[in-house]
Amino acid sequence: MKRASQQQMEAAVASFKSSGLTQREFCLRENIKLPTFSYWYRKVNVSSATPVVRFTEVTAPLPSVGLEVVFPNGVTVRGIQDLYQIRQLI
């Protein structure tokens, strides 16, 4: 296969997914270089993946009575009123 466009490679990846073949078998059948196809397969899968949400807004249903710090060893400190106190604990 000559240099393919992004659309052609995305179509090839879609065709591969429904083919039931290994990447090697598919590339031999379609006359695509395996490293080229592997690159596009990863690229298409990364771009079509659902983005990972790193932060979520949290709202308290009741008024807060202070902040809470949970340490890796399980110790929990509750009722902290300002961020300076948290800084001292950490």
Task: Give percent helix, percent strand, percent coil of the chain, each to the nearest 5.
Answer: 50, 10, 40
In a domain, residue 62? The reply is no
Question: In the chain, how many domains are there?
Answer: 1
**8 compared with 90, residue with greater pLDDT:** 8
In a domain, residue 37? The reply is yes
List, in order, residues 6 or more apart from 16 with CB less than 8 Å away. Answer: 23, 26, 37, 41
SS3 state of residue 41? helix
**Domain range holding 34?**
6-48
In a domain, residue 74? The reply is no
pTM: 0.49
Instruction: In whole angstroms, give the CA distance from residue 67 to residue 69.
Output: 7
pLDDT of residue 68: 77
**23 compared with 83, residue with greater pLDDT:** 23
In a domain, residue 77? The reply is no
C-alpha to C-alpha distances, 25 to 19, 36, 46, nearest whole angstrom: 10, 14, 23
In a domain, residue 59? The reply is no
* Among the ranges given (4-8, 12-16, 27-31), the one the predictor scored with the smallest mean pLDDT: 4-8
In a domain, residue 85? The reply is no
pLDDT confidence tier of residue 50, bands split at 50, 70 and 90: low
**55 compared with 1, residue with greater pLDDT:** 55
